[in-house]
Amino acid sequence: MASDRDDAHLPRPVEIQSYGAGGFRFVGLDGLSHRGSLLALPSGMWAWKASSLADLTPVMFERAAAEAGAIDMLLVGTGRDLVPLPAALRAWFGEVGLRADPMATGAAVRTWNILLGERRRVAAALLAVD
């Protein structure tokens, strides 16, 4: 995966081994990593162009909305700290059938790994942290 392409994609969801330094490293993929933010969906792991809280708009979640029928919970990693999602974005999530749960990116990564391991219908939108 490369963060300079909108279509960078790992075609299956995988656990995240570590995060930080502006990216993510994946479990069991011979050190494969991704620099930049990440959208983890039932269809796989996608490069995500969101780089700050200001980028969290409905447009940035269109790929997740397209898979809403296969997602019971969308974890939203908001960076180093938990930041509540704007009311308009929360309302949009409801309109498209997504239940979003914001948390710091570290907590979102840990929760993603647990729920993925339990084979739950989970997705995660993760802002990269340094």
Give the pLDDT confidence of 56-103 residue by residue, as tens digits. Answer: 999 999 999 999 999 999 999 999 999 999 999 999 999 999 999 999
Separation between Cα atoms, residue 17 and residue 55, nearest integer Å: 25
Amino acid at 2: A
11-25 pLDDT, tens digit per residue, is 999 999 999 999 999
How many Å from the N-terminal Cα to the C-terminal Cα in the chain? 18
- Which range marks the domain in which residue 14 is found? 9-126
Q: Structurally, how many domains does the chain consist of? A: 1
Please indicate, yes or no, if residue 56 is contained in any of the structural domains.
yes
Please indicate, yes or no, if residue 79 is contained in any of the structural domains.
yes
For residue 95, give the CATH number of its domain: 3.40.1230.10
> What is the 3 state secondary structure string of 56-76?
CCHHHHHHHHHCHHHCCEEEE
Please indicate, yes or no, if residue 65 is contained in any of the structural domains.
yes
Q: For the CA atoms of the chain, what is the radius of gyration?
A: 13
Provide the whole-model pTM: 0.93
Please indicate, yes or no, if residue 4 is contained in any of the structural domains.
no
Please indicate, yes or no, if residue 20 is contained in any of the structural domains.
yes
